[in-house]
Chain A
């Protein structure tokens, strides 16, 4: 059993060619549409009644909403609430994609570096564009923290610039690497079950890796939530830099 096989893209429908690029509707696109449909469907269905005393579905959607609203308010301030729809969409999309991915035999959209890199570059571009739009050149004060002695300043500026430009890299690779490593570990340990069953008397040990697979599946569910949350809260922290560059 090849642990990489689950990440392979397969073309469902070829749409045509543009130059040397092949435009196609892949399983990745299908799962993204599925997760969008789940988010939109559940949210619309839950808020359809818009009851004052919420039912079970409505209150669970409200809990997620309140949770993200608190996160944005705490880390980006009241001004950051204008970015709440963006952060909430990011969180919901990544969370649902991750959760679909841990169902066996499905495709995990967030284990593709191109998806996470696109999301991270979107966040990075919004921070830079909004930072310059709101603060003008004052946004550059981000790289020169106050209270640093003058002789140390050139070094600090270089370090701050490097760490600023490493942000989209670490933001995208964190999500991608966590999903990739988790799914590969799951399929390798699940592969031990069939290996042991095929090894004669050692087959009595087969329940051990099976139990471990179940435990890892639970851990992956936690990681799926945690990585979506980390992506959202880091987006808030980076947006906070654009809103208040004097730190």
Chain B
């Protein structure tokens, strides 16, 4: 296979990982919302943990985007 074509295919495949991050972020906010609706008075105190979970879940999507960007522009 042409190495340049392989590079572009690899960059596209690397972006698939962002779908996993989307599931993770959706799950974090969805679970928070379902918990928050059951006990709204406790919801405000958990915002730090909500965003920590969101950041951790999104970090992995960012890593896959980073791989895609590295493949496209650096390697």
Chain A residues packing against B (C-beta within 8 Å): 71, 74-75, 163, 166, 169-171, 173-174, 177, 230, 233-234, 236-237, 240
Partner of B48, one of A75, A170, A177: A75
Cα–Cα distance between A71 and B48 once the two chains are bound (Å): 8
Minimum CB–CB distance for B30 against chain A, Å: 17
Q: What are 14 inter-chain pairs, A to B, with CB distance below 8 A?
A: A71-B47, A74-B47, A75-B47, A166-B63, A169-B62, A170-B58, A170-B59, A173-B65, A174-B59, A230-B51, A230-B54, A236-B48, A237-B51, A237-B52
Which residues of the other chain, A, contact B54 by a CB distance below 8 angstroms?
A: 230
Minimum CB–CB distance for B74 against chain A, Å: 12
* Chain A residues touching B, majority SS: helix
Partner of B66, one of A74, A171, A173, A240: A173
Minimum CB–CB distance for A107 against chain B, Å: 20
Cα–Cα distance between A169 and B59 once the two chains are bound (Å): 9
Q: Which of B46-75 contact A (CB under 8 A)?
A: 47-48, 51-52, 54-56, 58-59, 62-63, 65-66
Which residues of the other chain, A, contact B51 by a CB distance below 8 angstroms?
A: 75, 230, 233-234, 237
Is the pair A74, B44 in contact by a Cβ cutoff of 8 Å?
yes
Is the pair B55, A230 in contact by a Cβ cutoff of 8 Å?
yes
Given contacts A75-B47, A173-B66, A230-B51, 9 further A-B pairs with CB under 8 A are A74-B44, A75-B48, A166-B59, A166-B63, A174-B59, A177-B65, A233-B51, A234-B55, A237-B52
Minimum CB–CB distance for B46 against chain A, Å: 9
What is the count of residue pairs linking A and B with beta-carbon distances less than 8 angstroms? 43
Is the pair A74, B62 in contact by a Cβ cutoff of 8 Å?
no
* Chain B residues touching A, majority SS: helix
Is the pair B47, A233 in contact by a Cβ cutoff of 8 Å?
yes
Is the pair B58, A174 in contact by a Cβ cutoff of 8 Å?
yes
Which residues of the other chain, A, contact B59 by a CB distance below 8 angstroms?
A: 166, 170, 174
Residue total for B at the interface (Cβ-Cβ under 8 A): 15
Cα–Cα distance between A234 and B56 once the two chains are bound (Å): 11
Cα–Cα distance between A71 and B51 once the two chains are bound (Å): 11
Partner of A74, one of B48, B52, B55, B63: B48
Which residues of the other chain, B, contact A233 by a CB distance below 8 angstroms?
A: 47-48, 51
Q: Does residue B3 face the partner (Cβ distance < 8 Å to A)?
A: no
Which residues of the other chain, B, contact A163 by a CB distance below 8 angstroms?
A: 56
Minimum CB–CB distance for B18 against chain A, Å: 10
Q: Nearest chain-A residue to B50 (Cβ)?
A: A233
A74 and B45 contact, Cβ closer than 8 Å, known pairs A230-B54, A233-B51, A237-B52: yes
Which residues of the other chain, A, contact B45 by a CB distance below 8 angstroms?
A: 74
Q: Nearest chain-A residue to B54 (Cβ)?
A: A230
Cα–Cα distance between A9 and B37 once the two chains are bound (Å): 47
Cα–Cα distance between A174 and B59 once the two chains are bound (Å): 8
